[in-house]
Amino acid sequence: MSYEVKSLNEECGVFGVWGHPDASRVVYFGLHSLQHRGQEGAGIVSNDQGRLRGHRDLGLLSEVFSDENKLTKLKGNAAIGHVRYATAGNGSVDNIQPFLFKFYDSQIALAHNGNLTNAKTLRRELEKDGAIFHSNSDTEILMHLIRRSQQPTLNGQLKEALNQVKGGFAYLLITEDAIVAALDPNGFRPLSIGQMKNGAYVIASETCALEVSGAAFVRDVQPGELVIINEEGITIEQYTTETQHAICAMEYIYFARPDSNIARVNVHTARKEMGRRLAQEAPVEADMVIGVPNSSLSAASGYAEYSGIPYELGLVKNQYVARTFIQPTQELREQGVRMKLSAVRGVVEGKRVILVDDSIVRGTTSRRIVNLLKEAGAKEVHLRIASPPLKYPCFYGIDIQTRKELIAANHSIEEIKECVKSDTLAFLSEQGLIDSIGLTFDAPYSGLCMAYFNGDYPTPLYDYEEQYQASLQEQTSFF
């Protein structure tokens, strides 16, 4: 049940609230609007007068809480929740968050969005020292670091732990008397604070979850910040001052919901601007502009607006998910592809089409969509990608960890065009992307992480360094 017809996956979303009598319901609604960030599993932990209670399971949020009693039992006026994205073949409930820990002296639950770059090293050191891990998730590491810290307070223990983990992370914790959030020193992943009408504070991976909760935007959590919300209100501290913005560009391009703002930039508006810039950089004569639903519709309308070529609904996405395991046989295989996306023959037949997509990973989906349009009678298909070619893996929380999967890491633009069988092909330039988003941080690329496009990683790669260097030598053919 994927959000889009693409194999790019975000790693998780978090949501928390402090100070609302129906805290777990607020979290349920918040997580529902973050479901696109993870569909493998979901969980919520509430604070019921100092006692933490949780429920988590595999499946969509609506499946995990299909029995309303499961939500009703999560009493209390504070709660945090998590949606986890699906990795192939590792469907264990042990990895579903928040993780809830009950100690003789305290209780803590923990949720995490991101990816650590020194997890393997930390885990090995901890195990050598007697630690026992119960999941494959990196998330557990932070808790071991906290419990082994010699600092006298949880605040101190947490700061010490946060300075040991490296990579991209947005942590959300709930304790007996507070909810706590922390963002990595580069702010790879988004994390925002809002406030409900009754004064309750909420924290969410995307601002769309603030809207759905009726919460007003307060501010974004900044790199290196530790946010504590408790009975005395909200306190923001720095656990480190060595910070520099490197916000994940793919959040703007593909992951985030168009109604979210990241670093105060609206995602739909950024995408529309990418489409306008793309029209300027790579114009082509045609009868209509079509976007791949749903993530590319903003960019497509921007392209249409700038170029003056009509924007049309040439592709329809089926809103009902098909069981992928019902495999078509023989000649039906091709029909199976059509279950997710249909070309509108009545619109495209005999027409020259500009097809706008947000990105290309393997190229497989692009080839199929071009083919759909041609079969429906499109005379020409000009593929326009509203971001630069993806050439390098991500180690901060996006599910591309090898160059092998990336067609642009292995082939030229001309070769990709041959592969996807479009009449022409063009990508947005790196500068075009940066300008379209329009961040103004005093940092490389105005505060964006552009590593997937140019390999310029904002941090050391730690455990991944060796694997990364090796991958630079490899070449895979997609033909």
46-65: contacts with its own copies (CB under 8 A): 60-62, 65
Q: CA angle at residue 201 from 195 to 202, to 5 degrees?
A: 90
CB of 10 to its own copies, least distance (A): 14
Residues 6+ apart with CB under 8 A from 454: 391, 392, 430
Q: Which of 91, 214, 233, 438 binds its own copies (CB under 8 A)?
A: 214
Which H or E run contains 16?
strand 13-18
The helix (H) or strand (E) run that includes residue 248 is: strand 247-248
Beta-strand ranges (E) seen in 106-242 are: 107-116, 167-175, 178-183, 192-195, 201-204, 216-220, 225-230, 233-238
**Binding residues for its own copies restricted to 271-330, rule: CB under 8 A:** 272, 294, 297-298, 301, 305, 310-313, 316, 318-323, 325-326, 328-330
Taking the C-alpha atoms of residue 226 and residue 15, their distance in angstroms, rounded to an integer, is: 16
12 catalytic residue (yes or no)? yes
Write out the binding residues for its own copies, residues 170-199 only, by CB under 8 A. Answer: 197-198
Toward its own copies, which CB reaches closer, 83 or 249?
83
Q: Among residue numbers 27 through 46, which ones bind its own copies (CB under 8 A)?
A: 28-29, 32-33, 35-36, 39
The contact pattern for its own copies, residues 4-23, with x = CB under 8 A and - = no contact, is: -----------------xx-
Q: Exposed/middle/buried for 283, CB within 10 Å: 0-12, 13-18, 19+?
A: middle
By C-beta, is 93 or 470 nearer to its own copies?
A: 93
Nearer to its own copies, 35 or 424 (CB): 35
Contacts of its own copies in 340-399 (CB under 8 A) = 342-347, 376
Binding residue positions: 295, 357-358
Contact window for its own copies (CB under 8 A) among 26-34, 74-82, 357-365, 426-434: 26-34
Least distance in angstroms from the C-beta of 270 to its own copies: 9
Q: Which is nearer to its own copies, 31 or 434 (CB)?
A: 31
Q: How far is the CB of 381 from its own copies (least distance, A)?
A: 17
Residue that the structure tokens 């109604």 belong to: 259
Is 404:391 a contact under the CB 8 Å cutoff? Answer: no
- CB of residue 68 to its own copies, shortest distance in Å: 5
> Out of 12, 208, 248, 449, which one is annotated catalytic?
12
What are the b/e assignments for 81-105, b being 16+ CB within 10 Å?
Answer: bbbbbbeeeeeeeebbbbbbbeeee
Report 216-275 residues binding its own copies (CB under 8 A): 257-259, 261, 265-269, 272
- Contacts of 372 by beta carbon, 8 Å cutoff, 6+ apart: 315, 337, 338, 341, 342, 343
Specify whether the CB–CB gap between 40 and 9 falls below 8 A: no
Beta bridge partners of 191: none
Q: How many residues bind its own copies (CB under 8 A)?
A: 91
Residue 311 or residue 396: which is nearer to its own copies going by CB?
Answer: 311
User: Least separation, in Å, of the C-beta of 85 and its own copies?
Assistant: 13
CB 252, min distance to its own copies, A: 12
The footprint of its own copies on residues 95-154 (CB under 8 A) is: 101-105, 123-124, 127-128, 130-134, 140, 143-144, 147-148
**Torsional class of 197: left (φ above 0), alpha (ψ -120 to 50), beta (otherwise):** alpha
406 is an interface residue for its own copies by CB under 8 A = no
- Residue 308 corresponds to which tokens in the numbers above? 């003056």
Annotated binding site for Mg(2+): 295, 357-358
What are the strands of the beta sheet with 225-230, ordered from one edge? 99-102, 107-116, 167-175, 178-183, 225-230, 233-238
71 binds its own copies (CB under 8 A): yes
- Which residue's CB is nearer to its own copies, number 204 or number 406? 204
Between CA 290 and CA 301 the distance in angstroms is 8
**Alpha carbons 108 and 54: distance in angstroms, whole number:** 11
Our CB check for its own copies shows the closer of 277 and 411 to be 277
Asked if 418 touches its own copies (CB under 8 A), the answer is: no
Q: Least Å distance between CB 355 and its own copies?
A: 16
Name the amino acid, one letter, at 206. E
Question: Annotated active-site positions, please?
Answer: 12
